[in-house]
Structure 1
């Protein structure tokens, strides 16, 4: 009897631990509403979402009514080995998928390297009930005619569009209208100045524009009454020129991988609300790219900038201080240290202590350095701001409100 009781106790204890690990044996996923489960399914790749009906009776009907995420890819002619994107479907399966799907459309992704002429098929897909109101487009390697067909068919409903590895012909967007488009990404794309201008003119709700490795015959001219964020990235050997002519609501101009080389010119002529800028290498020669700034008069400085990101070597403090003169109302400074950021700084003038820097006197509240390893030059760099940024100092001692955060990053 004692052995049986002990065995039952062990079994009961094991069952309790198992129930504790599984939430008392409850199926929390089964308790989710069909709407939430449908949203989860819509985030899965097409093939994975299409397999969910085998999970249970509850899931059997969900995929057909969930927001459709349709990912189509064409295998390049003569390609050997396994398919690089096994979660995508071939064009031959699209008609069957959209005929069986009765829910709304969320995303249509079409990577069509070596596609040939699929314009008619793409138009029929996007005019179907399943894709009639698609919200996101992801088009890669489409020929100009196919790209025009896809954009034309979905122009009135898309909220976000990503176009990769395509060439825009002159006639593609001149008569197009994108009333709902909020986010546009152009990656490794060729587009003329006039076509980009026409494209942006047809976007009446655009808030974010991301351009990476975009080539143009002349320059990339941006005018938009609604844009809030521009991200511009360029690292190739081709010349690139970005001119922001009229962007009254622009707040963020982000420049990832921008090193201020002679291949890239950025001019800001009309952005009265611009607050966040960078990162770029700390050198006055780079700041002079921004039209309207004078090296003599502070009246033409960029007083709207509140957050600035720079790349610098730890021994280039004077270069950073010279840059700060251009941003008198700066509140946050982010500096990324690296030895490879020494270019174009050989003749940088020295900062004179008798010439105060306005942002250090009245506005700068936060300075972040990364990676901060604590060697001599970095300590001197940080010490200057602790001693001279007035909002971090009271009577030659650190303010009681100043906070120093140190983080160790493992590589």
Structure 2
């Protein structure tokens, strides 16, 4: 065999295969998602888990800008770590630092926030900071949960929040002195193990005229008004649930 023939055969074996038609077609496909308007991409990002949504910021400078301004929906349960040391430390700094980093890097509105890892009173100042930041960014849905032994006291500014539409409180306390008008645009209120007195209940019923859903569970010894009185105070009410109250063990109207 001549040396020329051997060199040709070697080149034939060493040359890369031609690209497949499928690969060539895929390479030419445009990025249709990136061509969508910002408003639609903001909506998509707001529906993703926070970790997945934040990861899109590394795709390009435009995606970084999109994530920073998309409506934020943050549940601190989704930040739960996988290492054993952090898992046995209920809050321990890891969640507080993670939420702080998210708030610092995200500059858009906060649509929904759930804080449930603040069982110790020493972390309530951090909780205050996050709640205040959420109020300033137009929070619409808020869930706050603390421990029975160390309930979280709501900051007065939350009672006046105009953007808030849904509020769920577990083991929290209202301030001693309530303003004459609270939760001006609140549509859904769920109170679980939140002690109320008759005066605060009266304010809830008389000053939250936009309420459509009201749940009261283990809220203490109350002289509950009649159903007709509640309906008169809350003309938009569609769902009312009282559970483990003094006068009614359970009553629900849907």
Q: When the two structures are superposed, what TM-score results if normalisation uses the length of structure 1?
A: 0.44
Total equivalences in the alignment: 222
Secondary structure, aligned partner of 1:90: helix
What is the RMSD of the two structures over their aligned residues, measured on CA atoms?
A: 4.1
Equivalence for 1:155: 161
Equivalence for 1:184: 189
Whether 1:141 aligns to 2:146 is yes
CA separation in 1, counterparts of 2:61 and 2:185?
A: 37
1:84, distance to aligned residue in structure 2 (A): 11
Relative to total residues, which structure has the larger helix share, 1 or 2?
A: 2
Distance 1:233 1:81, change over 3 A: farther
**Aligned pair partner of 1:226 in 194, 216, 235:** 235
CA separation in 2, counterparts of 1:147 and 1:179?
A: 20
CA separation in 2, counterparts of 1:230 and 1:147?
A: 26
Whether 1:132 aligns to 2:118 is no
Give the conservation status (yes or no) of the 8 Å contact 1:68–1:104: yes
**Aligned pair partner of 1:34 in 38, 45, 62:** 38
Equivalence for 1:61: 65
Equivalence for 2:128: 123
Equivalence for 1:109: 114
Which blocks of at least 5 consecutive residues in structure 2 are unaligned?
1-19
Q: Deviations over 1:292-345 (max 9, x none)?
A: xxxxxxxxxxxxxxxxxxxxxxxxxxxxxxxxxxxxxxxxxxxxxxxxxxxxxx
1:161, distance to aligned residue in structure 2 (A): 0.8
Distance 1:32 1:138, change over 3 A: same
**Aligned pair partner of 1:200 in 205, 209, 215:** 205
Q: Deviations over 1:143-183 (max 9, x none)?
A: 7773322763763331111112x143572645552111112
1:195, distance to aligned residue in structure 2 (A): 2.4
Give the conservation status (yes or no) of the 8 Å contact 2:205–2:234: no
Distance 1:125 1:192, change over 3 A: same
Which blocks of at least 5 consecutive residues in structure 1 are unaligned?
1-10, 243-262, 267-276, 279-411
CA separation in 1, counterparts of 2:242 and 2:106?
A: 39
Q: Which runs of 4+ in 1 moved over 6 A?
A: none
Whether 1:168 aligns to 2:173 is yes
**Aligned pair partner of 2:214 in 184, 209, 212:** 209
Equivalence for 1:100: 105
CA separation in 2, counterparts of 1:40 and 1:159?
A: 21
